[in-house]
Amino acid sequence: MAGDGELNRIIKDLQKTVAELNHSYREQNLPVTDGSRELHSLCAQLEFLLQFDLKEKRTFFGQRKDYWDFLCQGLAQRRQEHEGVRFVTSLDKLKTPVGRGRAFLRYCLVHRQLAESLQLCLLDPESLREWYYARSPFLSPQRRAEILGSLYELDGVTFHLALRRADLDIAWPMFSETLAGGVKVEEENVEVKKAVEEDEEEMEEDEDEEEDKDVEVDVEEDVELEKDMEEADEEELEEDEKELEDSGRTEVSLRALVSRLQAELGQQEAVSRALASRLAREQRRHRRREEASARRAQLRAQEAEALRETNTFLGQALAAAVAAGGLGALAQAQEEAQRWREAAEEQGARLAGALAEVAALASRLQDCQTALAAAAGQTDTVEDNGVSDEVAAVEEVLRRALELACSPQETPLDPQVEGEPNTATSMAMHLATLATAAQEEARQSRQQLQAQQQEVVRLQEQLSRARQDGERWASALQRAQREALEREATRGAEQARQQELIRDMKGRLLELLREKDALWQKTEGIDTPMPSPAPRDVGLCTRCHKDFRLLSRRYNCRLCQGKVCHACSVDVGKQGRCCLLCYQQRHPQAT
């Protein structure tokens, strides 16, 4: 089995062969026949690529399938019926799939359908994997594109091939067979040229006939020129239509881009609106919590002031009782101190509850970590004032309690009076502990407030970035809309220009058609002089004088009505075939 290196070499040889065929056709301006060496190389290389890494399949009767069966299946999936398949199927003399495949390739070359038909067979990847292994060049997109690109170049080359050959089951037609007969044809062409010169000398005597011929040649040249111009106009029209289609596709892509940008801008606007609404809700929630904190701070300040007054009154009452020295007054002072002590404990309990509420409020404030842009400064001012009032009140209570605990006490008169200063001292120490705890809570609240301020700054930055993104998308959308409008205006002007050009082309085409009709009407009365047929033997070619065998192809020249063989005749399209002499007379540039 051939390797990848040999496969690449075959593909390059195929491209080289196609280039040589194009070059030879452009230089000689003659159709490619079976005598072309490049044609034989092209057919062999193409058959090698079609058979490379082909899976072995067999029919119900055991006959091995070839690329002909693959082509039939591929075309049947894409088209209901292919003319080439129908033609090859009608050839009863071909018995093998290889011969039918070769006949199909030759048919496609003659009718300029080779690249198109092969591409239709290669469109389905599942069908390709069903018929070929992984090393096939048709399973590689790059190699498949190279092969099809080369074959599409053959659409501009004319092939004149014998489509009903019976020897395709054995091998491709050899170019040496046609070349061997071509030497004799050249020798006979020399004699034909001499006869043509003698005929021209005789024809010079008849001036009227010569003038008619000149007129006919001029008319034919004018008709050919008009045909060329019509083909050029049709090509220009096709190019204009392609440009219009390209501009339409560009317009569709621009509209899709604009719609996508609009959708993205809408999403950004929706996100911005959601952030704004969320920020407003958080601002209202923070304002309510701030008012509640202010009320609680005011209540704590009032309770601290009452506690401070109570402690002062207790100290004064205790000092007065000690100074008076009376038991009744002392007992009364103790009762009064007991009442005030209970009241102080109640106030302390209320203060502890207030501090617990402050701690709960601080924990709830930790949940407010979203956008607080507009209320940041106000929040700082209010919270700082509330905390500073609370700290001042607690510090004042602590200072008064320490003074009360450290103030000099007089010696008690009896054991009953002795326990009273200790009770006041323990109460002062308890108050100092509460004040320290309150100060610690205030410090923690201040730290939490700083963290919330940092979170607010971060959210403000995110909001600013979101706004910048929205502005950038809006500017991009505006720029895309401006470009789309400019392109649409340019495209409208271009379409108007192309429509005007198409109208001009149509007018010119109508004028050419009118001129063509006029020229055809002028040539209706001109009779083409037919050379008198020379006496000839029916069983011999009038040019090379070869015997017509049973299977030899013979043609009647449509101009001189002489019987000629295939080598001495030239195909002139739908009008049939003519002999070399008549063809050279009608086409002097082909000699």
Where residue 48 falls among pLDDT bands split at 50, 70, 90?
very high
Q: What are phi and psi of 36, to 5 degrees?
A: -85, 125
181 touches 34 (CB < 8 A): no
Task: Give the least confident one: 48-57, 280-289, 330-339, 451-460.
Answer: 330-339
Where residue 490 falls among pLDDT bands split at 50, 70, 90?
very high
pLDDT, residue 205, reads: 53
pLDDT, residue 286, reads: 79
Mean pLDDT of 495-508: 91
Q: Write out pLDDT tens, residues 352-377.
A: 776 676 566 656 656 655 545 554 45
Determine what percent of the chain is predicted with pLDDT higher than 90.
Answer: 18
Task: Give the least confident one: 60-64, 148-152, 255-259.
Answer: 255-259
pLDDT, residue 498, reads: 92
Tell me the domain boundaries of the chain. Answer: 1-173, 183-205+530-591, 216-267+485-523, 283-482
563 touches 536 (CB < 8 A): yes
How open is the CA angle 215-220-223, to the nearest 5 degrees? 125
pTM to 2 decimals?
0.34
Question: What is the rounded CA–CA span in Å between residue 128 and residue 4?
Answer: 19
Task: Give the least confident one: 150-159, 418-427, 493-502.
Answer: 418-427
pLDDT, residue 526, reads: 58
- Comparing 216 with 90, the larger pLDDT belongs to 90
- Number of helices (H) and strands (E), helices first, in the chain? 14, 4
Both tokens of 518, joined, read 């006029």
Question: What is the rounded CA–CA span in Å between residue 277 and residue 268?
Answer: 14
pLDDT, residue 19, reads: 93
State the virtual CA torsion across 420, 423, 428, 430 in degrees, nearest 10: -170
Most confident option among 238-247, 397-406, 446-455: 446-455
Question: What is the rounded CA–CA span in Å between residue 430 and residue 402?
Answer: 11
- Please determine, for residue 14, whether its predicted confidence score (pLDDT) is greater than 80: yes
441 touches 321 (CB < 8 A): no
- Comparing 314 with 451, the larger pLDDT belongs to 451
pLDDT, residue 184, reads: 39
From residue 201, alpha-carbon distances to 204, 205, 207, 590 in Å are 5, 7, 12, 21
Where residue 484 falls among pLDDT bands split at 50, 70, 90?
very high
Both tokens of 493, joined, read 């002007």
Q: Write out pLDDT tens, residues 370-403.
A: 545 554 454 444 444 544 555 565 556 556 655 5
Kindly tell me the sign of the dihedral angle through the C-alpha atoms of 410, 414, 420, 423: positive
Task: Report the SS3 class of residue 205.
Answer: coil
Task: Report the SS3 class of residue 132.
Answer: strand
584 touches 590 (CB < 8 A): yes
Where residue 190 falls among pLDDT bands split at 50, 70, 90?
very low
Which are the contacts of 348, defined by CB distance < 8 A and separation ≥ 6?
307, 430, 431, 434
Question: What is the rounded CA–CA span in Å between residue 313 and residue 588?
Answer: 143
- Comparing 268 with 407, the larger pLDDT belongs to 268
pLDDT, residue 566, reads: 84
Helix (H) or strand (E) holding 408: none
Residue 269: HSE in the Cβ half-sphere, 13 Å Cα cutoff: 8
328 touches 341 (CB < 8 A): no
Question: What is the rounded CA–CA span in Å between residue 322 and residue 409?
Answer: 9
- How close are the terminal C-alpha atoms of the chain, in Å? 47
Bridge partners of 540? 547
Q: What are phi and psi of 177, to 5 degrees?
A: -65, -45
121 touches 130 (CB < 8 A): no
Name the nearest CA neighbour of 583 among 229, 564, 162, 23.
Answer: 564
Task: Report the SS3 class of residue 516.
Answer: helix
Number of residues in the chain: 591
Helix (H) or strand (E) holding 557: none
Helix (H) or strand (E) holding 149: helix 141-152
Task: Give the least confident one: 2-11, 402-411, 443-452.
Answer: 402-411
Q: What are phi and psi of 556, to 5 degrees?
A: -95, 120
Question: What is the rounded CA–CA span in Å between residue 187 and residue 11?
Answer: 39
Question: What is the rounded CA–CA span in Å between residue 290 and residue 570?
Answer: 107
DSSP at 411: P
- Please determine, for residue 222, whether its predicted confidence score (pLDDT) is greater than 90: no
Mean pLDDT of 106-133: 91
- Please determine, for residue 552, whether its predicted confidence score (pLDDT) is greater than 70: yes
Kindly tell me the sign of the dihedral angle through the C-alpha atoms of 161, 43, 165, 132: negative
- Please determine, for residue 409, whether its predicted confidence score (pLDDT) is greater than 80: no
Both tokens of 447, joined, read 């730290």
Question: What is the rounded CA–CA span in Å between residue 584 and residue 191?
Answer: 13
Question: What is the rounded CA–CA span in Å between residue 416 and residue 483?
Answer: 101
pLDDT, residue 98, reads: 92
pLDDT, residue 295, reads: 83
484 touches 258 (CB < 8 A): yes
Q: What fold, for 183-205+530-591?
A: Herpes Virus-1 (3.30.40)
84 touches 72 (CB < 8 A): no
Question: What is the rounded CA–CA span in Å between residue 281 and residue 275?
Answer: 10
Question: What is the rounded CA–CA span in Å between residue 130 and residue 123?
Answer: 13
Question: What is the rounded CA–CA span in Å between residue 277 and residue 463?
Answer: 12
- Please determine, for residue 188, whether its predicted confidence score (pLDDT) is greater than 60: no
**283-482: CATH, from 1.20.120, 1.10.10, 1.20.1050, 3.30.160:** 1.20.1050
383 touches 291 (CB < 8 A): no
Where residue 194 falls among pLDDT bands split at 50, 70, 90?
very low
CATH no. for 1-173:
1.20.58.900
pLDDT, residue 201, reads: 53
Residue 15: HSE in the Cβ half-sphere, 13 Å Cα cutoff: 12
- Comparing 470 with 221, the larger pLDDT belongs to 470
pLDDT, residue 331, reads: 64
Which residue's entry shows tokens 């053959």? 154
Task: Report the SS3 class of residue 291.
Answer: helix
97 touches 63 (CB < 8 A): yes
- Please determine, for residue 1, whether its predicted confidence score (pLDDT) is greater than 80: no
Mean pLDDT of 267-291: 80
- Please determine, for residue 102, whether its predicted confidence score (pLDDT) is greater than 90: yes
Mean pLDDT of 327-344: 65
